[in-house]
Structure 1
């Protein structure tokens, strides 16, 4: 169902709309529909920001675990800790890492990010 409405613009607003219409190749009505739907792009930006924050948290945790593993390897190389003690510490760190990877996979890949722009039908009308 299509609804037709009249809109009023001052000269400056109308000139801006004409310029945008020429630049984008969209009719004025298609341009206005596109601008009205821009809130969906703001929503997608928020989703992307949340996704990026999740990735940053994940990377920080991986970095912490990597540092712990490096410390274990260092102590093994200089014989400060006993082999069995280091082996147990390494197992513990890896045991922490596996659930973290699963949690990340569940969170990150369940949230589908549909970022393809929507196509708008453009109808050019003579004398527009």
Structure 2
């Protein structure tokens, strides 16, 4: 869902009741993912998100930061290759593209930029 959908007005309220286990699970998942309980419930219902988060939002941010550093190193190697300082292996372009695809996937699935 795009950010515009989350910012729109929601005039209708719904009151839900949970048992202790359900509420604790919702609270825990909400904290792990870094989203409010209401937003989490809407996303799960409307987008059919997986039951258990694979990574917390903090973990995803760490992975994205590390991938950005790796990407920066790859770009430096590409620059040096382009000016003739070094010769790169043929697999370099494929590795660079795979890194880009991983980063785009993480950004799409987590909302982390």
Which category describes the TM-score, using the shorter chain as reference length?
0.3 to 0.5
Alignment TM-score, normalising by the size of structure 1: 0.39
Relative to the length of structure 2, the TM-score reads 0.43
Q: Which has the larger radius of gyration?
A: 1
Give the number of the structure with larger relative contact order, counting CA–CA contacts within 8 Å between residues 6 or more apart.
1
